[in-house]
Structure 1
Amino acid sequence: MERSLETQVSQAVDAWLAWLPRWQPATHRGRVAPCRRCFGSPILSAAGLGSDVPHGVQHGLSIRMKSIVDHAVADYTARNLPTLQAELDQQAARNRARSYRPAEGLSPEFEGMPLDPEPTPGAPFLFTIAGMAEESDAGVPALPPLTEEAKAALRQEVGLADDFANMVGRELCTLLLRHRLRIQEAVAVHVEPQIAAMLDELTQSLDSPFDPHDPTP
């Protein structure tokens, strides 16, 4: 039997809570552009994860919620939107033909994140994972063109799928409100102490820019 949306949300939050103790602050340079999945997300707002919560913490929960919406939309599409389903099936077959798919099979904490770090100005990469994936895509035939009638039907069905996704998303936000307290408690236990420690270390380094044991002035 298909799990209810309430059960899926509860299990996804449980999985995120089980992962959270393993989270550590990133030591590399931050992202230049905000994450389109997390920035201004109503799902994260419902969960009580504001802009003061590190993006890595937000992303793990956001992607888990996205997978629930995606699964619901996929089921709705398969049952009600034949033109869109046929297009998706063709795209899926095309994706399977690619020889290199580095973005697939990632854990939720890394899904949707950039495949490569931000480049250092003046020091370009010899190669990038994203570039290698694009080279793999070049050898896969393009999808066949659509007729005008098919395009019109596809646009209509895409609109219906978007409306359904928005409806599921709103219900998901309502369900997340029930988990807000335990989400915030977990952040207070596992995330905030690490951030406080980083700030303390930064403060000490600013107060004492030189090693007190170093005789060099």
Structure 2
Amino acid sequence: MDRSLDTRVSQAVDAWLEWLPRWRPSTHRGRTRLCRRCFGSPVMAAVGLDRDVPHTVQHGLSTRIKAIVDEVVDEYTERNLPLLQRELKAAEESKARSYRPDRGLEPEYDGLPVDPDPVPGEPYLFTLAGLAGQEVAEPEAVPAPLSEEEKSALRTEIRLADECAIHAGKLVCLAIAPHRERILAAVALYVEPQIEALLADLTLELDSPPSW
């Protein structure tokens, strides 16, 4: 296994373990949509966090690991896939000209919705997602359209990038598996007692008769 990848995974787990003691159960409304980054993730399955664990606990780790996979794919693309690299650079430059409220978020929040779910009868004056979706003026210089040969080559490069991502995903699963024991130990120490306390409070409220 690539030692540098093994080291990056270990550092990501260390960073997540440093954050976990600060985790607190959410008090706002729950999510109405499944998180594609965490739900069914083989990484979560590899470390035993694929069930009976709060989503925010999963998300903080899965986001860090996904960032490693993204780095591997970016490095591979920059070295070997010039057409795809050019298209991605152009897309990034276009995004940089617009407002992006999700830019610079901590790993625990990266990829999550930037706005809460709407409440019926309580409209927003504005939403961050709405601001991000506003059209911006495009530059005057329009890149020349791709030729048929370039389109075919680009499709090939996209396929290669996808294969690289799949391979990197398998490698990070292998790299993170040895950390399973300390990950589950940290969850048992910092997460499970808070969940049990919440359940105890809920049981007490349900058992207590109304005061009126």
TM bucket (normalised to shorter chain) is over 0.9
What stretches of structure 2 of length at least 5 have no aligned partner? none
The one-letter amino acid paired with 2:207 is: D
Tell whether the 8 Å contact from 2:6 to 2:175 is kept in structure 1 after alignment: yes
1:141 is aligned to 138
1:94 and 1:140 in contact (8 A); partners too: no
Cα shift at 1:50: 2.2
C-alpha distance in 2 between matches for 1:10 and 1:188? 20
Question: Structure 1, residues 75-125: CA drift from partner, whole Å, max 9, x if none?
Answer: 000000011000011111112222x22111111001000010011123222
Q: Kindly state the Cα deviation for residue 209 of structure 1 after the two structures are TM-superposed.
A: 4.4
CA distance in 2, matches of 1:203, 1:75: 52
* 1:153 alignment partner AA: A
C-alpha distance in structure 1 between counterparts of 2:198 and 2:151, whole Å: 53
Q: Which runs of 5+ in 1 are unaligned?
A: none
Indicate the SS of the match to 1:32. coil
Change (3 A) 1:189 1:92: same
Partner residue, 2:47: 47
**Aligned residue type for 1:118:** D
Equivalent in the alignment of 1:206:
206
The residue aligned with 1:124 is 123
Mapped partners of 1:57, 1:124: distance in 2:
30
Relative to the length of structure 2, the TM-score reads 0.93
CA distance in 2 between counterparts of 1:96 and 1:54 reads 33
Identity %: 57
- For 1:176, the aligned partner's letter is I
Q: Do structure 1's residue 16 and structure 2's residue 53 form an aligned pair?
A: no
For residues 126-152 of structure 1, give each alpha carbon's deviation from its aligned partner in whole angstroms, at most 9, with x where no partner exists: 2100001111xx114287443333222
What's the CA shift string for 1:174-215, capped at 9, x where partnerless? Answer: 11110000000000000000000010111111111414xxxx
RMSD: 1.6
User: Where has structure 1 moved over 6 Å in runs of 4 or more?
Assistant: none
Residue in 1 aligned with 2:192? 192
Task: Report the Cα distance in structure 2 between the residues aligned to 1:120 and 1:148, rounded to whole angstroms.
Answer: 48
Q: Which amino acid aligns with 2:22?
A: R
Under a length normalisation based on structure 1, what TM-score does the superposition of the two structures give? 0.91
Q: Secondary structure at the match of 1:18?
A: helix
